[in-house]
Amino acid sequence: MAEKPLVYLILGAAGSGRRQVLTDLLGDGLVATDRPAVMLAASETADEADATLPALTRWSWTDGMITGVLPREATHVFFVSEGRENPVEQIEVFVAWLEAQGGQIARVITIVNCQLAEKHSALLAWYEACVHFSDIVLLNRREGVANKWMSDFQAHFKKQFVPCLFELVKQGQVKNPALTLDPQPRRMSHVFDDEQDWIFKTPEGEVIEEDEETEGDEEVEATREEEPYFARDAAHRRVKRLPDIRQYL
């Protein structure tokens, strides 16, 4: 049986230079025997960088679903998200799509448009969601951005002990493409993990440790750990809501 292709999910807002950065990663981050392919959202406008992307195909985000087929001949597939839509909505669907397609997640990479994020502080919540799912964050479009903002942005996540890496992009180039593409997981989220944690609760809703003793014959309910960004309230709305990125582009 052929090995599952490694799939890299590329997050970020439209206009963040994701395709230019991807061109650099593909040029210096892979070896000669690798067979890369790129899946780009059909709604993304044409870019001169498209000509440099190998085995480029388009996928569609239609009625909240992903329409597209994972290239079977590729060893490394780079799936570029729809940069004008909610990343959490896409990721939740992407998890199931990837399993159905028979792919193996390698890394989730967020490319930050620093100029956009500095200009609109409300987008911090949007980027917080992306970082939560990411193994590495690439800070792009830094021209004219204040050094203090750059420091404060990274410090915000360091204070939260976020395990993913943060790297600067200079003129569309990443300092260490091989490190960026290294499939070692560093993300907060467990939605891509083969084995997810379990939560144990008493009938009263109290969370207990797996080996913690309960009184008498008290039953304990075991449920899989819920991804906080996927959680919904009684009205079926997301508990964690994100700003509409389209209002800021």
Q: What is the pTM of this model?
A: 0.88
pLDDT of residue 218: 60
pLDDT of residue 1: 43
Phi, psi for 90 (deg, rounded to 5): -70, -40
CATH number, domain 6-181, options 3.40.50.2300, 3.50.50.60, 3.40.50.300, 3.65.10.10: 3.40.50.300
Successive 10-residue mean pLDDT values, the chain, 249 residues: 86 96 94 96 88 94 92 95 96 96 96 98 98 98 97 97 96 93 95 66 55 55 76 93 97
207-208 and 136-140 strand pairing: unpaired
Strand partners, 232: 238
Cβ atoms of 173 and 24 closer than 8 Å? yes
What is the spatial distance between Cα 229 and Cα 194, in angstroms, rounded to a whole number? Answer: 19
pLDDT of residue 223: 54
Beta strand segments in the chain, E: 6-11, 36-41, 56-62, 65-67, 76-80, 104-113, 136-140, 165-170, 173-174, 198-201, 207-208, 221-224
CA angle 131, 182, 155 (to 5 degrees): 30
Lookup result for tokens 């809501």: 241
pLDDT of residue 160: 94
pLDDT of residue 72: 87
pLDDT of residue 146: 97
SS3 state at 238: strand
The ranges assigned to domains in the chain are 6-181, 198-226
Lookup result for tokens 């997981």: 185
Tokens at 125, concatenated? 């919540």
pLDDT of residue 167: 97
